[in-house]
Structure 1
Amino acid sequence: MNIGQPLRDLGAVESQSLREAILALEEPVWQEEQLRQKKYSDVHYNTESVILIFCDHDNWPDVSVVKGNGWERLHEHAVPLMHNIIGRYYPVGGTIIRAMAAKLKAGTTITPHTDNHQSFHHSHRIHVPITTNNKVRFMIDGRPHRFEVGKAYEINNQQRHGVINGGDEDRITFIFDYIPGPSPA
């Protein structure tokens, strides 16, 4: 969604429970679903995801939201966090159309891109850092931003954005997309 600025700092959030649950995931769990890597291969080829929910937006605005393999593993930690953020910053009563833990492997990048599908024009894209390092830069409109663990951010996904992980450690972020209101149309 175009939020009128590149990034909105949503401040501190209680993400420790979700962080611990994500960090406890075994490596094969990150390989179970390749939906994002296949659907968006030009951008997400260096990533791995644990998907809680995802939408089939081929029939936009009639989206079907389905649970992924990550739902059973993470929902009890993720849902309260998402509802807390929504309750603090957005009109309640909308729909979470995507939620996932996303890993960017050490020493790799997510190439700069703009999220073009209509669902991205209508949804707020929220990032909650789980791990990071001093060599991670989230680029929005050509400018670097550093995200901190324990905080949440909304990015303007209508501006060109990408991520550089120049460090020796993977960067993991919990991401969810929220559409306010009763219908995404």
Structure 2
Amino acid sequence: MDIGDPYRELGPVPMQPLLDAVLALPAEAWLENEQRQNDYDVHRRTESIVLLFTDGEGWPDITVSREGGWDHLGDVALPLMESIIREHYPPGGTIIRAMAAKLLPGEVITPHRDSHPSFHHGHRIHVPLITNPRVRFTVDGRPMPMRVGEAFEINNQKAHSVMNKGAEPRVNFIFDYVPKERTESI
């Protein structure tokens, strides 16, 4: 959604239970669902634990499916998402995508804009779980802080990219929340 600014800081969030669950995942869990990597070239070099997903087909009458990642992280991710929504967004909307996304060391997500209509109407929220000083996240050419333990909304209608020049992976929890009035006004 075009929020006017490149990003908005939402502040500290209770992310420790989600981080603990992510750290406990076996390596093969990151490879169970490769749909994002196969469908979106820009995410080809990432790994994901997908909890909720829609391809957006038929927007705004879409189907959101609960994916295998829900069994891994749903019980700790849902309270986190609900707390962020309750604090910052109008109630009654729908979470249409949710995932933990890993960018491996030395990899890059090239500059891109999220173009599907669902991205014009949904808030894209990032919660950094694991990072290192050599990760660079930019939106509209501006660096974004992406501090662990805080939440951020990005303006996904502006070009955004990520570069991980560090020796450790970067893991963000990402979800898209569409307020009720955004689908009713279409």
TM-score surpassing 0.5? yes
Is 1:87 the counterpart of 2:86 in the alignment?
A: yes
Structure 1: stretches of 5+ with no match in the other structure: none
Hey, what does 1:165 align to over in structure 2?
Answer: 164
Cα displacement (A) at 1:124:
0.1
Distance 1:127 1:4 in 2: 17
The count of corresponding residues between Structure 1 and Structure 2 is 184
Hey, what does 2:24 align to over in structure 1?
Answer: 24
Which one-letter code corresponds to 2:129 in the other structure? I
Distance 2:152 2:182 in 1: 24
Corresponding residue SS for 1:71: helix
Hey, what does 2:53 align to over in structure 1?
Answer: 54
Counterparts in 2 of 1:104-123, with a 5 A limit? Answer: 104-123=103-122
Which one-letter code corresponds to 2:160 in the other structure? H
Counterparts in 2 of 1:90-105, with a 5 A limit? Answer: 90-105=89-104
Distance 1:171 1:3 in 2: 25
* Large movers: runs of 4+ above 6 Å: none
Q: Is the 8 A contact 1:11 1:151 kept in 2?
A: yes
Cα displacement (A) at 1:59:
1.1
Hey, what does 1:5 align to over in structure 2?
Answer: 5
Distance 2:106 2:37 in 1: 18
Distance 1:114 1:62 in 2: 22
Distance 1:181 1:60 in 2: 14
Cα displacement (A) at 1:146:
2.3
Q: Deviations over 1:143-182 (max 9, x none)?
A: 2122111100000000000101110000000000000016
Cα displacement (A) at 1:56:
3.0
TM-score normalized by the length of structure 2: 0.97
Cα displacement (A) at 1:183:
6.4
Q: For the aligned residues, what is the CA RMSD?
A: 1.0
Distance 2:153 2:144 in 1: 12
Distance 2:12 2:144 in 1: 17
Distance 2:38 2:59 in 1: 20
Cα displacement (A) at 1:31:
0.5
Q: Is the 8 A contact 2:121 2:182 kept in 1?
A: no
Q: Deviations over 1:27-81 (max 9, x none)?
A: 101011011111112x001101000000131111111000111001111100000
Structure 2: stretches of 5+ with no match in the other structure: none
Which one-letter code corresponds to 1:73 in the other structure? H
